[in-house]
Amino acid sequence: MRSFLLIACLGFCAVGIAGCTSSSGIDGLGLDKLGPSRETTNSIPRPATPVAETAAGPGRIVTINEEVAALADAGMPPVTPSALVGAGEARAVEAVEEVALAVPQEPAMAKSPVGPVNRHRFRDAKPINFGKASPKNYAVHGVDVSRWQGDIDWQTLKSQGANFVYIKATDGGDHLDPMFRKNWREAHKAGLKRGAYHFFYWCRTAGEQADWFIRNVPRVAGALPPVIDVEYNGQSSCKRRISAEKRREKMQVFMDRLEAHYGQRPIIYTAPDFYRDNLRGHFQNYPFWLRAVAQHPSKVYPGRDFVFWQYSGSGLSQGVKGKIDLNVFNGGEAQWRAWAGGQSLMAAE
């Protein structure tokens, strides 16, 4: 519901639109040889609360109007200054003139409802015996998808126990998954909680990757926090491994940019080898999504709390042809409702 406590005049001035270049071409240039990174982190405050206490807390999405939300649900990118300005370009200037009453310090929040939890009926082409820590003992199951799942029958997939879905959106600075907009729209129509993820390229700047993600992923109420997928990619033409410190620096720049735009702290998805070499002991205040397909995450990532566990890359389900990644939420139904339902939208002014 709109609040009319403030009559504001918003003016945007954007200088230039960044052009797109080939990710594969830039990956092959070995940009890390050009010296220290010029990327610096933004000054977004970081609470001292550890992930274990914040994972179930509410997220927040910054204000958008109803027209932009409608375009987003139709698969169109939001019309915002950050969607128009590329990396390295001048930022849009927003001038707000207060005419009448002051903006309340605690704006009204529109909570996002969470539907009934569906019990999973997934199968696995390569089942693993996880013992007492079996994924079947978790209450809330979900999937992640990309172009490789083709056309999905979302209602059927939901009936099989998919309560949430993370959808592949972007790679690098100019690759958009061709199924993203359709998957984003259809998953929402089926009533699944949805989120988008970005596959990070190490030979592209973090700033241009953040701009590309923001340009293509709508900012809408109820969406799950954005995800940065960080792992080794043996198929990339970017062969030179940069230092762990520089990897973390680039991740921080990307995550800061997304947090400023979406109002939600991004989730870090990673795999065991990349975590061991680059992330162990770092990003303690960030939620993690951990891949562990042979053992429980507590054994693969000792001491690391997590929000999601990807336990299989060989899942089988009605509604999808071929294999699909299977995941669980690390908590019960009540915790899921508190966490997922807390992804809310500030009431428009």
Digit-coded pLDDT (tens) for 168-213? 999 999 999 999 999 999 999 999 999 999 999 999 999 999 999 9
Residue 57 belongs to a domain: no
Judge whether 246 lies within some domain.
yes
Average pLDDT estimate for 141-153? 97
pLDDT score recorded for residue 191: 95
Amino acid in the structure at residue 236: S
Residue 199 maps to a domain: yes
CA distance linking residue 237 with residue 233, whole number of Å: 9
Q: Give domain status of residue 273, yes or no.
A: yes
pLDDT at 310 over 90: yes
Torsional sign, CA 155, 328, 254, 52: positive
Of 264, 4, 255, 227, which Cα lies nearest the Cα of 112? 264
- How confident is the model at residue 285, as a pLDDT? 97
Q: Which domain holds residue 223?
A: 109-346
Query: What percent of the chain is predicted at pLDDT more than 90?
Result: 62
Q: Which pLDDT does position 19 carry in this prediction? A: 37
* Percent of the chain clearing pLDDT 70 (strictly above): 66
Question: Given this model, what pLDDT does residue 344 score?
Answer: 53
CATH of residue 218: 3.20.20.80
Could you tell me the maximum CA-CA distance found in the chain, to the nearest angstrom? 64
Question: What's the whole-number mean pLDDT along residues 123-148?
Answer: 96
Give a yes or no: residue 92 inside a domain.
no
Q: Is residue 300 in some structural domain?
A: yes
Check if the beta carbon of residue 335 is closer than 8 Å to that of residue 56: yes
| pLDDT, position 88 | 36
What's the pLDDT at 271? Answer: 98
Label residue 111 by pLDDT band (50, 70, 90): low
Instruction: Convert the pLDDT of each residue in 77-89 to its tens digit.
Output: 444 433 333 333 3
Give CA–CA dist 278/49, Å, rounded.
22
For 156-160, the CB contacts below 8 A with 24+ separation are 156/318, 156/319, 157/190, 157/192, 157/317, 157/318, 157/319, 157/320, 158/118, 158/190, 158/191, 158/192, 158/319, 159/118, 159/318, 159/319, 160/118, 160/120, 160/121, 160/122, 160/317, 160/318, 160/319
Q: 62 to each of 16, 83, 169, how far by Cα in Å? A: 24, 15, 20
- 106 is annotated as an active-site residue: no
C-alpha 168/C-alpha 144 separation (Å) is 8
| Number of domain units in the chain | 1
Question: Which of the two residues, 97 and 161, has the higher pLDDT score?
Answer: 161
pLDDT at 39: 53
The residue annotated as part of the active site, out of 39, 89, 231, 333, is 231
Whether the predicted pLDDT of 28 surpasses 80:
no
Mean of the pLDDT values across residues 17-22?
38
Measure the CA angle with vertex 332, ends 327 and 337; round to 5°.
90
Contact predicate 29/203, CB 8 Å: yes
Give domain status of residue 1, yes or no: no
Q: Assign 112 a pLDDT band (cuts: 50, 70, 90).
A: low
Structural domain includes residue 115: yes
Average pLDDT over residues 221-235: 93
CB 263 within 8 A of CB 225: no
pLDDT in tens, 265-283: 999 999 999 999 999 999 9
